[in-house]
């Protein structure tokens, strides 16, 4: 193939890509905006559901009730409580 033929092929492919395959920046920004809006609505809905599922506390709580409530709704405290239980269980079986 001659150099001139390759040049025309490259120009033709470039023209096809420019005319049909490329997305305009306006279209791109519109899609990004729609996607961000949908993601925000999903996040907001999830947050509202989480807030609705939390118990509403009214009045005074005893220390015991406070600890129960905290352990039920706090994952970090639950994990630490399990670790503490295993540690105490294992330490009872060790002989010094």
- Written as six digits, the tokens of 43 are 């996040």
Q: What is the pLDDT of residue 23?
A: 62
- Residue 78, pLDDT above cutoff 60: yes
Mean pLDDT of the region 49-70: 84
- Average pLDDT of the chain to the nearest whole number: 81
User: Where does the pLDDT of residue 95 fall: very low under 50, low under 70, confident under 90, or very high at 90 and above?
Assistant: low
Rg of the Cα atoms in the chain? 31
- Evaluate if residue 47 carries a pLDDT over 80: yes
Using left for φ > 0, alpha for ψ between -120 and 50, and beta otherwise, residue 94 falls in beta
């Amino acid at each position: 193939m001659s150099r001139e033929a390759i040049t025309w092929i490259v120009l033709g492919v470039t023209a096809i890509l420019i005319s049909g395959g490329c997305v305009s920046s306006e279209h791109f920004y519109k899609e990004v905006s729609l996607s961000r809006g949908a993601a925000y609505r999903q996040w907001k809905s999830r947050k509202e559901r989480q807030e609705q599922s939390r118990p509403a506390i009214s009045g005074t709580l005893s220390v015991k009730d406070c600890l129960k409530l905290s352990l039920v709704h706090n994952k970090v405290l639950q994990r630490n409580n399990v670790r503490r239980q295993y540690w105490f269980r294992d330490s009872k079986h060790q002989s010094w």
